[in-house]
Chains A and B, each alone.
Chain A
């Protein structure tokens, strides 16, 4: 093959390379959720409760002075029960287990829900001490999910327990 023809060939091949790289570097566009969708992210990291027993006076008397804690607590933490309803219907429910070999760590969850934007009645119930029945934390609110926005369901005892953040 003559030199000019080889150069033309090279230009074509370099061009094809550039087009290939340039195209797939941004195309096709990726759409993770449709335009009219919103997200709910349910995520928390919380130490479950545990059942402590008050030590009696005699018991405390028998213990070395520096170890006289009034409460006797097991290391193990309770599972945490969690339910999420949307307009009165169940969206999600789970039981979170404590982490750690002796089950003394936090229970965590991270879950993403894709919903059509709109207004919903959002109810979250949580029980972090399963020895007791029912739910000790409940949060219910009419929320408006705007397209492309994220609503976070989180838990923070310092912020009064369950809360929504948009």
Chain B
């Protein structure tokens, strides 16, 4: 394994454990670590909202700018002071969450293939965020602002951009004028606008974007930031005075760490590191990585144009076009560069039901690496071999807990590309084909590698989403477990519990008629 791959694997393990630790308190759908992108957007809205208020009270004249901000923290402190603190802390949190989101996507290997676009559009966001953040600190025009403005322009001057050193603007009190603050506001409002556009592009190619965290987490986070704002309000340092060199500043390490870094090394070194890091992020998707999964294929004869696959595809890889064979009908079309190969579409297609009589089960949209026909065949073969008092079929996911470990004479295991790739009718098919129970093992909630698989599976099984599991299927014979790669033990226990439950309940109240497609092969 290459150094990069092992580094990535270690980082992934750390993330998994941290996420599972957070699951204990937050549950999967609330877990902030599983929704870092949404957390980032949420912080951004707080920053934008509080920023708009701050803008209304700002005086951009050189003499007024300092007091118009520092006074916020005094008069009406409960409005201005809190909004100011909120603006600052939410911006810090935004940076923190963005960094975590980047490292997490990298750790899970989500930067190549169909995710190339999301990754590459993420990189400029880093730069835009920092430019916005740093320029924000300058507006305060206190000693920290002076320090950052001087240090930043000294750093910028290393690049051959300006004909005169930009740092000359901060030489002495009379080298500054009002224009500077007008320009600063232009940057501090304009760059975030570009940032928002950049984020729009960032999520443009996926469907059902996770725009906001759960309500509970939004409230909890806002409450936390408000509390922080009350306990430790954001304050200004002494006013800037360009005749002085601030000896000690209250540095915001999230935004301004770059200044100490320059002092320790040199401007040349810092630029080299920044450019190298940016280049590395751009190059990363081109480094050797696992081959892409084969993509979904549409079969015109079996597609009736219902567009359920379009509704369920997590990567907006499906569009509908005119059907080539049936005038007036539509057909699903898969965009090869967007398709993740997750199979969720195959699980959503009404033609995927195994009860169809065809010798070879063909459906509207299918995965070449694991067709619904393969699934049915595998299921039939394994059902035929099951023995014991309580026979259970487990449908697992290649990317969640390893269901294959559960295989036993009384337990058949089929591991899927994603549990979302399982047409719900297969549950009924297994039960009517001789299984006493069916267990589905998805990723933990919010942990699906393909974003939506575990969610769609749960909604289909509970009848909230097409295709439904038929209501005749007794729910007592079905168990949906959420277990990550670290949860093999939990999965084994869940199976044990499930089997015990079925045995205690007895098998008498079963309304399902046995169904054998090819009687001759079984019984």
Q: Which residues of A contact B (CB under 8 A)?
A: 1, 6-7, 9-10, 12-15, 17-18, 20-22, 24-35, 37-39, 41, 43, 45, 99-100, 105-106, 108-110, 112, 147-150, 152, 154, 165-166
Assess whether B244 is interfacial by the CB under 8 Å rule. yes
Interface centre among B96, B244, B260, B263 (most CB of A within 10 A): B244
For B164, what are the chain A residues with a Cβ–Cβ distance below 8 Å? Answer: 45, 106, 108
B252 touches A105 (CB 8 A): no
Assess whether B249 is interfacial by the CB under 8 Å rule. yes
Give the segment of B165-173, B317-325, B360-368, B395-403 that binds chain A. B165-173
Assess whether B187 is interfacial by the CB under 8 Å rule. no
A148 touches B244 (CB 8 A): yes
B248 touches A31 (CB 8 A): yes
B253 touches A110 (CB 8 A): no
**Interchain CA distance A112-B245 in the complex, whole Å:** 11
Assess whether B282 is interfacial by the CB under 8 Å rule. no
B89 touches A31 (CB 8 A): no
For A22, what are the chain B residues with a Cβ–Cβ distance below 8 Å? Answer: 89, 228, 231-232
A30 touches B168 (CB 8 A): no
Partner of B245, one of A6, A9, A38: A38
Interface residues of B in 238-263 (CB under 8 A from A): 242-254, 259-260, 263
B245 touches A39 (CB 8 A): yes
Which chain A residue shows the least CB distance to B174? A165
A24 touches B25 (CB 8 A): no
A32 touches B246 (CB 8 A): yes
Known interface pairs A106-B163, A110-B157, A154-B171. Does A10 touch B245 (Cβ–Cβ under 8 Å)?
Answer: no
Which chain A residue shows the least CB distance to B220? A14
A149 touches B89 (CB 8 A): no
Partner of B247, one of A20, A41, A148, A152: A148
6 contacts between A and B (CB under 8 A): A6-B26, A26-B252, A28-B251, A29-B250, A45-B165, A148-B246
Which chain A residue shows the least CB distance to B30? A10
Which chain B residue shows the least CB distance to A9? B25
Contact with A along B214-235 (1 / 0, CB 8 A): 0000001101110110011010
A32 touches B243 (CB 8 A): no
B89 touches A25 (CB 8 A): yes
A31 touches B228 (CB 8 A): no
**Interchain CA distance A4-B133 in the complex, whole Å:** 38
**Interchain CA distance A6-B220 in the complex, whole Å:** 13
**Interchain CA distance A24-B253 in the complex, whole Å:** 6
Partner of A33, one of B93, B223, B245, B259: B245
